[in-house]
Amino acid sequence: MKIKVSGRRFELTDAVKKRATTEIEKLDKFFDNIISANLVLSQANYRIDGELSMNVSRSKLVAKATTGDPLATIEMVTDKMAQQLKKHKGKMKDRQQRKVAERKSDVDVENSEEEGEY
């Protein structure tokens, strides 16, 4: 997974970058097919806005959060992304189960038609 952390209107310290990278790497346990992650922290007056966008298999997920502390913003945005990844994984699993069920029902219909001909 490619991880990019950047800051707008303020300088990111190495500690903040390292913390963001470790938090984003932890999201790998919720969904395996994460291609890339991009975290942008921007400062406006006394608040820190965070936007985490992830490219996952065939989709792009985005989470946003705003607090007064960069570390708290990172934590909030990764928590929101974890929820989205769980939901996305559930949808993928449901789609695959439906496909398997459809294939199985198609095979059952074909077998019952063949039995009726004899």
pLDDT for the residue 114: 66
Is residue 79 assigned to a domain?
Answer: yes
Domain count along the chain: 1
Is residue 90 assigned to a domain?
Answer: yes
pLDDT at 110 over 90: no
Q: What is the CATH number of the domain that holds 14?
A: 3.30.160.100
In this prediction the pTM is: 0.84
pLDDT for the residue 113: 67
Alpha-carbon span 89 to 79, nearest angstrom: 15
**Domain residue limits at 72:** 2-112
Is residue 118 assigned to a domain?
Answer: no
The closest alpha carbon to 56, from 94, 15, 27, 22, belongs to: 27
The closest alpha carbon to 56, from 92, 22, 21, belongs to: 92
pLDDT at 24 over 60: yes
Higher per-residue pLDDT: 7 or 94 = 7
Tens of pLDDT, residues 50-93: 999 999 988 999 999 999 999 999 999 999 999 999 999 998 88
The DSSP code for 9 is S
pLDDT at 117 over 60: no
Is residue 27 assigned to a domain?
Answer: yes
Is residue 117 assigned to a domain?
Answer: no
pLDDT for the residue 75: 97
